[in-house]
Structure 1
């Protein structure tokens, strides 16, 4: 853990802070209403803008938290190390910006779509997690992922299936999951990574 704090301080802080905030609301559910993303309130009260960030630090239940944090652990920490290899200490800042900016941008489509729906709430770090995952895939497209922790699949194939499923599920909107945040988080991760490292696209292609 000490080594992680030294090598990947940003990922370590995000990991611990997300765990702490999520566990806190599990024990204090009255805070959900204050911290979840509520587009209806955001559009009518500027003091609620904090929800864009606070909603990314809390989760619905232990399974939701476990899935996101396991994904972040296996891809977020290595990605920060990659950024540091590419950019030196500035890589820590790039990683922080990738995570925070994708958290905000991935929620914007949902905020606009649901601005007049007082009954809509969402939460979770999935937008930022998808940004991290897809950024990692640009550098290591053939790394093998364990889909649902079981099914082996190369990262690039998972990316294609993920985008297709997210588009389909967002249109269907029948499962209560904010698939738009997943999709836009993934796209934001790719765009931000290419802005920081334009060579990543040719590197991605060269791996095939």
Structure 2
């Protein structure tokens, strides 16, 4: 396994484990809207290394483990780091945009960064097949579109504790940064680029109409 990937996974494991056993540490580093708006911007990054429980941590790290090698193989280690942390920040910024009036809003998890890597891999390998629930084969681009549309639904419904906004922001980050790094994809995989743009347009159209 690539040493950079090992370092990121290890940082997530160690910081999450510390958070599992130290409530004060957890509260100090989680994404808390009031604290972020008051100047603690570092929480955008630190919260992405905390997880709610072992299941949350394992799911995110397994997803990263499976898809990071695709991005590294096509774009290299430096671009992987840029997309990972860029997607993390995109997720945080979109969360601020949509929840800036909710001062008590809290969120944790590497989902934004991991989703950015997932979408980067989909753009690079749109012919890739994913295992839905690790069993049912589904084309990567179909999964990408459905996942983003589900995230819009989750943002609108607000009936769970999942950070759908960070997921969506991370996906947008991975999408944009991958195309900036590898603009040839606009021509090589034009149909996939267009299809993955649709949920993004829907999101901002709904926001403009006050539907979120």
Same fold per superposition (TM over 0.5): yes
Cα RMSD after superposing both structures: 1.7
1:59 aligns with 2:51: yes
Number of paired residues? Answer: 192
User: What are the Cα deviations for residues 86-121 of structure 1, in whole angstroms up to 9, with x where unaligned?
Assistant: xxxxxx221111111111111112223333434221
TM-score, normalising length from structure 2? Answer: 0.84
Runs of 4+ in 1 over 6 A off after TM superposition: none
Query: Which residue does 1:149 correspond to in 2?
Result: 134
Query: Which residue does 1:95 correspond to in 2?
Result: 80
**Structure 1 stretches of 5 or more lacking a match?**
85-91
Query: Which residue does 1:89 correspond to in 2?
Result: none
Counterparts of 1:129-148 in structure 2, within 5 Å, are 129-148=114-133
Please state whether the residue corresponding to 1:138 is helix, strand or coil.
helix
User: What are the Cα deviations for residues 71-98 of structure 1, in whole angstroms up to 9, with x where unaligned?
Assistant: 00000133112212xxxxxxx2211111
Question: Counterparts of 1:203 and 1:71 in 2: how far apart (Å)?
Answer: 26
Question: Counterparts of 2:188 and 2:34 in 1: how far apart (Å)?
Answer: 42
Which of 18, 28, 33 is the equivalent residue of 2:22?
Answer: 28
Question: Counterparts of 1:76 and 1:171 in 2: how far apart (Å)?
Answer: 30
Question: Counterparts of 1:154 and 1:75 in 2: how far apart (Å)?
Answer: 14
Question: Counterparts of 1:94 and 1:109 in 2: how far apart (Å)?
Answer: 22
Please state whether the residue corresponding to 1:106 is helix, strand or coil.
helix
Contact 1:139 1:203 in 2 (8 A): no
TM-score, normalising length from structure 1? Answer: 0.86
Please state whether the residue corresponding to 2:131 is helix, strand or coil.
strand
Question: Counterparts of 1:93 and 1:204 in 2: how far apart (Å)?
Answer: 23
Contact 1:140 1:204 in 2 (8 A): no
Deviation at 1:50, TM superposition (A): 1.0
Counterparts of 1:163-182 in structure 2, within 5 Å, are 163-182=148-167
**Structure 2 stretches of 5 or more lacking a match?**
193-212
Contact 1:131 1:185 in 2 (8 A): yes
